[in-house]
Amino acid sequence: MKKCLIFFFILFLNSNAHSSINQEIISHLENINSLEFKFIQKIDNNNIEKGECIVLYPKKIFCKYYDIYNKILVSNGKSLVINSDKIKNYYRYSIDETPLNFILDKKFLISKIYEAEDDKNYPFYYVFNFEYENNIIKVFFDKESLDLIGWETKDIYQNLIQTFLSDININIKVEEKIFSLQKYIN
């Protein structure tokens, strides 16, 4: 009987720790309206891209890539455009067709973190795994600041994409006009 009580006590402590961390991350996310960060993106472990982004919740993002093509990725919350100065070509997608639909939707992330359990395989981050509409998504949070510091998804071509954030600034002032697609689809 004593062993059984100890087991349930340990299980109870573990479950409380799980919900406590989840709740702390959720509270932190709820207080974030915008982000600015630098990123490194690995595509199928072969290609590495770097750049900087500004996010305005929900679902708006503007990224400049540091590459030879001067790529720009921008979403107005409904559509996503990828454009390049050098190629004079652009690609337009409905944001609903991309994993960014979930990553840039703070309410969606919060709802999934309520249900998820931290993946213990990552000692330096809190990592939450979830599947939604055939998308498998891993989301990484810093253990100290609780900031969103990355994600892992597959793009529309089924390439594994790992994105890691650095130099994160939260609740910055953002001009809405940077999310206008018109400049990038002409």
Q: What is the pLDDT of residues 126-151, one digit of tens each?
A: 999 988 777 789 999 999 999 999 99
Q: Please tell me what DSSP assigns to residue 15.
A: H
Report which of residues 123 and 79 the model is more confident about. 79
Q: What is the mean pLDDT of residues 113-136?
A: 86
User: Would you state the pLDDT for residue 70?
Assistant: 87
* CA-to-CA dists, residue 147 to 36, 159, 170, angstroms: 12, 25, 9
Give the pLDDT band (50/70/90) at residue 86. Answer: confident
Tell me what the mean pLDDT of segment 153-172 comes to: 91
Percent of all residues in the chain with a pLDDT value above 70, rounded to a whole number:
89
Second-level CATH architecture of 2-184: Clam (2.50)
| Cα–Cα distance measured from residue 12 to residue 150, given in angstroms and rounded to the nearest whole number | 30
SS (HEC) of 78-120: CEEEEEECCCCEEEEEEHHHCCHHHHCCHHHHHHHHHHCCECC
Summarised one tens digit per residue, pLDDT across range 34-62 is 999 999 999 987 889 999 999 999 999 99
Domain boundaries, the chain: 2-184
pLDDT at 10 over 80: no
- Bridge-based pairing of strands 60-65 and 47-56 is antiparallel
**Residue 99: its pLDDT value, please?**
87
List CB contacts of 121: < 8 A, sequence separation 6 or more.
127
- Work out the mean pLDDT of the chain and round it to a whole number: 86
Please check the confidence at residue 112 and state whether its pLDDT lies above 60: yes
